[in-house]
Amino acid sequence: MTRKKTPLLNKVIIGGILILLLFYIYQNKYQLLRLSSRYYYKVYYSFFQRKQVDQSKNLKNFGIKIPKKYSVHGIDVSKYQRKINWDEVVKMKVDSVKISFAYIKATEGGGLIDRLYDYNWENAKKYNIVRGAYHFYRPNVNSKIQANLFMSIVNLEKGDLPPVLDIELLGSDVKNTVKGIKNWLKIIENKYKMKPIVYTNIDFYNKYLKDKDITNYPLWIAHYYEDEINDDFKWYFWQHNDGGKVNGIAGDVDFNVFNGNRNDLLNLCKK
């Protein structure tokens, strides 16, 4: 049987449609990533997480030592805390300590969107917890690509905390790593019109960042199981423990304090 040839005009039309489709995918790659992330979470949770460990409830305390000289306490969360019952979180109070703010993971590297970001972002706001978003930095991925991913996902509103860059990894070259970090911070500051915060642990900061002009940005230091941070730099947040327990959250969660009172915290937020 002789196969009929596809007319040239049809080939041109089909080729044009494919080009437009590829262009659309490229232009909307972050939105498509977000949609796929949402879909993945719904499928994953429905079929694989129904029998996971129940959320904590009726806890007598937070299960860790809480620094006493600070009045503003918060947590940072991601998909690893699973689906959080934010109503239970906000209701929990031990003595005078309660959760006042939460930093929520939004993105990582050049293409990863935390599958629970939308849920956590919306519900933290719903239950009047001061919220902020953070990006986990991958030093071997172009910093502009990473900044673009974050900006495509995070829409800050009045009362939201400044964006955070989570720096825990060192690339193959210290100089290029620091250059990329500075570029991400600059892009994000220009976008949101507020200084982003740098999160890192105290050893990484002292070894790689302390003398690299990163001190121009607010600092969030991870330093676990200590009574205080004994160093000569100014910090805004201190992540003091990674094993806290909170009603409404399954498993452990990071605990933080803010170096100031509630009004100081609110003054950091978007106006």
Q: Cα 214 to chain center, whole Å?
A: 19
97 forms beta bridges with 94
d(CA 103, CA 74): 8
Type of residue found at 79: K
CB of 181 within 8 A of CB of 137?
Answer: yes
Say whether 189 sits in a helix, a strand or coil. Answer: helix
What residue spans of 73-136 are helical by DSSP H?
86-91, 117-126
**Buried-state track 127-141, b at ≥16 Cβ within 10 A, e below 16:** bebbbbbbbbbbbeb
Marked catalytic residue, from 54, 87, 166, 168 = 168
**Any idea of the CA torsion for 107, 169, 202, 236, to the nearest 10 degrees?**
-20
- The DSSP symbol for 134 reads E
54 is catalytic: no
Number of Cβ atoms within 10 Å of the Cβ of 43: 10
Q: Is the dihedral of CA 236, 239, 245, 249 positive or negative?
A: positive
d(CA 268, CA 4): 69
Say whether 258 sits in a helix, a strand or coil. Answer: strand
242 is catalytic: no
CB of 84 within 8 A of CB of 123?
Answer: yes
* Residue positions annotated with a catalytic role: 76, 168
